[in-house]
Amino acid sequence: MIKRSDEVATALAEGRPVVALESTIISHGLPRPRNLKVAMELEEVVRAAGAVPATIAVLDGIPRAGLDKDELERVASESGLRKLGFRDLAPAAALGVSGATTVSATSFLAARAGIRVFATGGLGGVHRGWTSVQDESADLDTLSRTRITVVCAGVKSILDVPATLQRLETRQVAVVGYRTSEFPGFYLSTSGEPVDWRIESAAEAAGIMRAQDRLGGPETALIVANPVPTSEQLDPELHDRVLAEALAAADAEGVTGQAITPFLLDYLVRGTGGASLEANLAAVRGNVALAAEIATAWTDR
């Protein structure tokens, strides 16, 4: 059901490190044409660290792990490409539809393909205003029942971060800070929220993954929260100001559901003169590099 590229299948069979990469960030999270360059660059970061990249997407109804250049190009530029969460996978497969996969769909497909480590930008979570409009990303549900390690720069700062952390606690998803005791703030190095566990190395992350497997119990994820370096973060004051504008604009325009995340991210890019894009990319690059290290520590057994 999942088509792995030859390179990914061989690496997994030989026990070599593989890193899953998400495609919604490429199709819906980043402006064109820069997004294709970024997609290729992220794969290069994985390779430079000695691991094999497996970008995940659904093309003509077929879920794929590991895309060639033409396939990556389709994800970056095909118009009308859908955004697929886990629940959209069966309809897309049955109806032969193409789409980019979110964290929930990517985590599921990666785990099914035998890939344990996955890198992205920021997770989805509980949206602000959830007391009146119920919007909680399906990312959280999938992570509560999928054995995957997700390296991210926290959750997107457009969300209600404390509420999201609370939900992760309720759903039993382990969260560790990589060289930090504070939960990162996606575009910002910190969200100001504490994180209960701190690790200093990729080897420690791999150790936690092994302990998860030995302990058994529900097949939950491990979130490794890796902050963007302070030198590359978005100016916090600019961030707060433009985010407030973005939230007000989404409200005024009645944007909801799947469209809200891309809308806010795009508003931030324009409202910060591209600075949020640079911070986003710095965060993703760092996450991809760390994921490759963790995948390597995981296979060094």
Confirm if 129 and 92 have CB atoms less than 8 A apart: no
- By the rule CB under 5 A, 160 interacts with Mn ion: no
Query: Which DSSP symbol is given to 5?
Result: -
Measured from each CB, the residue nearest to Mn ion is 135
- By the rule CB under 6 A, 103 interacts with ligand PSU: yes
Single residue of 135, 139, 160, 293 touching Mn ion by CB under 5 A: 135
Q: Is 14 among the catalytic positions?
A: no
- By the rule CB under 6 A, 64 interacts with ligand PSU: no
Polymer length in residues for the chain: 301
Question: What dihedral do alpha carbons 217, 223, 224, 228 form, nearest 10°?
Answer: 180
CB of 282 to ligand PSU, least distance (A): 11
Closest CB to Mn ion among residues 103, 199? 103
Q: Give the number of other CB atoms < 10 A from CB of residue 213.
A: 10
CB of 86 to Mn ion, least distance (A): 12
CB of 69 to Mn ion, least distance (A): 31
Q: Between 236-253 and 275-299, two packed helices, what is the crossing angle to 10 degrees? A: 100
Q: Is 156 among the catalytic positions?
A: yes
Long-range contacts, stretch 259-268, CB < 8 angstroms, 24+ apart? 260/127, 260/135, 261/28, 261/29, 261/124, 261/137, 261/156, 261/158, 262/28, 262/29, 262/83, 264/156, 264/158, 265/29, 265/156, 265/158, 266/31, 267/242, 268/158, 268/187, 268/239, 268/242, 268/243
CB of 135 to Mn ion, least distance (A): 5
- By the rule CB under 6 A, 239 interacts with ligand PSU: no
Catalytic residue among 3, 7, 14, 22: 22
- By the rule CB under 5 A, 139 interacts with Mn ion: no
Nearest in space to 197 (alpha carbons), one of 175, 218, 214, 217: 175
CB of 291 to Mn ion, least distance (A): 24
Catalytic residue among 136, 156, 219, 237: 156
Query: Which DSSP symbol is given to 120?
Result: -
- By the rule CB under 5 A, 293 interacts with Mn ion: no
Q: Is the dihedral of CA 188, 190, 196, 197 positive or negative?
A: positive
Segment near ligand PSU (CB under 6 A), from 71-79, 91-99, 133-141, 190-198? 133-141
Contact set for ligand PSU, span 147-206 (CB under 6 A): 156
Tell me, what amino acid is at 206? A
- By the rule CB under 6 A, 258 interacts with ligand PSU: yes
Segment near ligand PSU (CB under 6 A), from 46-54, 132-140, 164-172, 289-297? 132-140
Place of tokens 């955004």: 83
Q: Which residues are known to be catalytic?
A: 22, 156
Residues near ligand PSU (CB under 6 A): 22, 24-25, 28-29, 102-103, 120-122, 124, 137-139, 156, 258, 261, 265, 280
